[in-house]
Structure 1
């Protein structure tokens, strides 16, 4: 019905243009030729629009999920695709194939992945020329990809990045009669401000661009109530809050699966290998677990180190020097005689600043703290989270309006968290209930000391936070999505 109404609007507008132009030129000597030209233009435009909007019985069950980034590192968009598939929609997933998507996505027959290549622009001349040519080439690439696919009832686009995908997606939706939905994870202009400064002309342009094309969307999703209010008050954009929730794959990991993962990681990372020579009771052993020769059972080893985990995209909005300084202080606590366990700190992820921080880590000389930075496959990441003792989050929102999905995943695994403070973090992390909030490295170091002084006992604050998470349960992604997104697809 929506498509019919749009077609009527196009036909009516074309007729009005015809009448107005006909009236203007009717008295001229070339009136006949002018009228003929108008008829040809209107006819061709109508035919092109009809072809672009040609629907079939499957059109209303097709949705395009678009991210101008790495699909494998876009978990929320992968979850969208899986939820759509579960409800019988055929999904066209468009994005970069830099890392492998979760096997549930790649193995779903209803989800078709269309990879696009990352465009770099002209690499000679001024930097602004590189950026402009990149935007132009990306626009052309994306326009052709979206225009050549089957007609979709909806296009669901991640923002950021929104330049140039927001304008291109709006144009394609206007031409084809598709519903345009934006999933606001953050603001692109605030991320650009981290490297250019808030008063840079390109940041102003990006802000104007997001505000303008954001208003052209049919529906909007966002990740916090704070962002929902900000969109409404400052940009007059109405959005639905869809909190990130952990899918069912994020749960506490049985000790047998922990052992299997640790054994695999021990082959490439010394931090997971067992220390000492007293492994007679175990057939195989890691720094954390051992399989007993007598009955092949797996148990956590006594005197094991605490496993601390943090995940990151290694970007400007996460300052990992804070964690490294806190670990230096923790090392000092143990050296000074504090009754604390050794630490294995695992920092996962890929990103532009990884090599910078790896060089910093290489300069550290610790005896009681070990650090490694592995890249985990999508299937192994939730297993590691479910095996850890404590999570640390250094995500400091560029806008102050989004929440770190890594903490959502940690809570799904009932893993307590220490998270750095920013404005709306309280919507997720409840201080002294499911974790602690810190502001600097000194405060984080004190929290590590406080939480781990009873490790691995069951009476300390860390164990209490875990019990609170276990008792709280909480809504999972599927139920949350069904309540908030499904009505946007099936409604009028």
Structure 2
């Protein structure tokens, strides 16, 4: 017998909202019937697709009104479309006892979900990942009337929720002090699929990726660019392998990839000096988003000899394996509000991968500089960290000691996984 029915709402590509997918899976595993509502697009995690308690309900994609009409009028048409399409999906299914909605986006999502909960007498829960108005301000400026309206809108509907969740203690304090909203902090934690992997798994992944991206492969069938099968059949890391740097992104304004590209340019220049002790570097940047083409053009124009950048979109099961097979992660998330944390770092930590992360004011809730990873502010600092990490790679004994120390700290971090943390912090809201 089920514990009740929950609508989990994301007015965006559900496959690119891992936290809401994890919420849905935890609820389903705890015996709730879950309607996961949002836009189609990216593939969902396998466990969610196969779970008998989960039904995917896709909202019709919005036409591109803003390319056909003046900007403000196109925005109004977009909002009207979203209101009607989301209402149709919500009301054309069995009543939910609870509704859990992701914010942002806020307009019109929070209003539509609140109306549904009032009419259906459902418990209304908001999960605050950030503020929509601070993201909007990145493109239109803080003084825009749209930004001011969005800030009021989020606060007004946030105060009407029966319960609120948020991703950091800093966001919890800001919600209370500036919006009179009481929230429970639920930190992102990696689910079980993000974990260290054996070399056999890494070898198989590189073989698979080499079918589409030659840079991962080798002309010798017993080898990849990073691994090899010895004569006794044992798989080992190649002594002459390149360094493997990995970053993931949604290619949006709150991640300035010029910082990484400048750092890689400095790395390339250092590799060309006579005293270079750095290996060739392969940088894998995963993800989809509006600025991807712009940055890919910059990458193509760079024409580096010692640094190679690839930008694949990975299958959900391959992404954790890539993180676990990499040498170092990079996170360029800068946070429009300074109050959220990058889930990608939690995933990297789950795989035992140390990270260089762009600093902002609440990042210390996740990363302690030189204790479990590094933080940086400029491209020079990032390049210095990458060069230090890969100096005399893979035989730098002092760097191996630092890496071992970091990984011991990350092992402590990943001892508490998503579902256990979810039950401790959140399960009481669904009673």
TM-score (norm 1): 0.84
| Separation (CA, whole Å) in 2 of partners of 1:204 and 1:286 | 53
> Structure 1 residues 76 and 372 mapped into 2: Cα distance closer, same or farther (>3 Å)?
same
Alignment match, 2:59: 116
- Looking at structure 2, the residues matched to 416 and 330 of structure 1 have their Cα atoms a distance apart, in angstroms, of 19
1:212 counterpart = 2:156: yes
Partner secondary structure for residue 389 of structure 2: helix
Asked whether the 8 Å contact 1:271–1:371 carries over to 2, the reply is: no
Find the partner of 1:196 among 140, 144, 148: 140
Pick aligned residue for 1:106 from 41, 46, 49: 49
Matched, 1:132 2:76: yes
Which residue of structure 2 lines up, in the alignment, with residue 91 of structure 1?
A: 34
Partner residue of 2:334 out of 381, 386, 396: 396
Choose which of 353, 357, 360 in structure 1 pairs with 2:298: 360
Q: Secondary structure at the match of 2:52?
A: coil
1:375 aligned partner? 313
Name 1:488's counterpart in structure 2.
429
Deviations 1:77-108 (A, max 9, x none): 11001101111111000011111101111111
Distance 1:225 1:70 in 2: 27
Runs of 5+ in structure 2 lacking a partner? Answer: none
Asked whether the 8 Å contact 1:385–1:415 carries over to 2, the reply is yes
Q: Distance in 2 between matches of 1:184 and 1:454?
A: 44
2:234 corresponds to 1:297 = yes
Matching residue of 1:187: 131
Q: CA deviation at 1:452?
A: 1.6
Report the counterpart of residue 270 of structure 1 in structure 2. 214
Q: Say if 1:401 and 1:424, in contact at 8 Å, map to a contact too.
A: yes
Q: Residue 89 of structure 2 aligns with which residue?
A: 145
Q: Any conservation in 1 of the 2:244–2:327 contact (CA below 8 Å)?
A: yes
Does residue 1:448 correspond to 2:386, yes or no?
Answer: yes
What SS does structure 2 have at the residue aligned with 1:112?
A: strand
Q: Is the 8 A contact 2:190 2:414 kept in 1?
A: no
Contact 2:282 2:307 in 1 (8 A): yes
Gapped runs of 5+ residues in structure 1? 1-56
Note if 1:439 corresponds to 2:377. Answer: yes
Give the number of the structure whose alpha-carbon radius of gyration is greater: 1
Preserved contact between residue 121 and residue 133 of structure 1 (Cα < 8 Å): no
SS at match of 1:310: strand
Q: CA deviation at 1:472?
A: 4.9
Larger RCO (CA within 8 A; separation ≥ 6): 2
Deviation at residue 306 of structure 1 after TM alignment: 1.1
Determine the C-alpha separation between the residues in 1 that align with 2:429 and 2:408: 36
- In structure 1, distance between residues paired with 2:420 and 2:276: 45
Aligned partners of 1:381, 1:121: CA distance in 2, in Å? 30
Cα distance in 2 for residues equivalent to 1:472 and 1:243: 12
Aligned with 2:38: secondary structure?
A: strand
Alignment partner, residue 250 of structure 2: 313
Partner of 2:343: 405
Q: How does 1:4-23 map to 2 (within 5 A)?
A: none
Secondary structure class of the residue paired with 1:324: helix
- Counterpart-to-counterpart distance in 2, 1:77 and 1:406: 14
Counterpart Cα distance in 1 of 2:410 and 2:172: 26
Number of aligned residue pairs: give it: 426
Q: Is the 8 A contact 2:15 2:42 kept in 1?
A: yes
- The superposition leaves residues 374-400 of structure 1 with CA deviations (integer Å, 9 ceiling, x where unpaired) of 000111100100101100000000000
Q: Which residue of 2 aligns with 1:464?
A: 405
- Alpha-carbon deviation of 1:454? 4.4
Could you tell me how far 1:121 is from its partner in structure 2? Answer: 5.9
Cα shift at 1:61: 1.3
Instruction: Find the residue that maps to 2:325 and give its secondary structure.
Output: coil
Give the Å deviation of 1:470: 2.9
1:121–1:132 Cα contact (<8 Å) kept: no
Q: CA separation in 1, counterparts of 2:222 and 2:134?
A: 49
Deviations 1:165-202 (A, max 9, x none): 10000001000100000000000010000000111111
Give the equivalent residue in structure 1 for 2:222. 284
For 1:207 and 1:430, how far apart are their aligned partners in 2? 31
